[in-house]
């Protein structure tokens, strides 16, 4: 089935460790996004990518890094510099920036112990 696949669904990490969240898509979407969601809050944009080997910071990029080496993949690394990393992370794709709807993955819940 086509869609956005995120892994792992749940992840625990010790303070000071980097962790990478995977996002893969087979929808042939040019644009991919990472959002962060905290309890009772809306979605906040971390990074987005319009095309392979290109990405831009969103509203809350500090402490995060991404890469877009392949069209299908847009992994997010939560670094030790992120002061409050415990959250629900959502990856999404769309046909292009500001064109049409976003298709979301099922999310990855990161808990820092």
Partner 1 sequence: GESVGLHLPTLSVQEGDNSIINCAYSNSASDYFIWYKQESGKGPQFIIDIRSNMDKRQGQRVTVLLNKTVKHLSLQIAATQPGDSAVYFCADPRPEGQNFVFGPGTRLSVLP
Q: Which residues bind partner 1 (CB under 8 A)?
A: 4, 6, 33, 40-43, 45, 48, 58, 90, 92, 94, 97-107, 109
As a whole number of angstroms, the distance between CA 105 and CA 51 comes to 19
Q: Name the minimum Å distance from CB 48 to partner 1.
A: 6
- Our CB check for partner 1 shows the closer of 62 and 96 to be 96
Q: Name the minimum Å distance from CB 80 to partner 1.
A: 26
Report the candidate in 42, 41, 58 with the shortest Cα–Cα distance to residue 50.
58
Q: HEC profile for 44-56?
A: EEEEEEEECCEEE
């Amino acid at each position: 089935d086509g869609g956005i696949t995120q892994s792992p669904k749940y992840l625990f990490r010790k303070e000071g460790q980097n962790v990478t969240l995977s996002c893969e898509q087979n929808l042939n979407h040019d644009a991919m996004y990472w959002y962060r969601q905290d309890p009772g809050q809306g979605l906040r944009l971390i990074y987005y990518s319009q095309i392979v080997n290109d990405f831009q910071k969103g509203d809350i990029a500090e402490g995060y890094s991404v890469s877009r080496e392949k069209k299908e993949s847009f992994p997010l690394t939560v670094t030790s510099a992120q002061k409050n990393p415990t959250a629900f992370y959502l990856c999404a794709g769309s046909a292009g920036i500001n064109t049409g709807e976003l298709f979301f993955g099922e999310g990855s819940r990161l808990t820092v112990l």
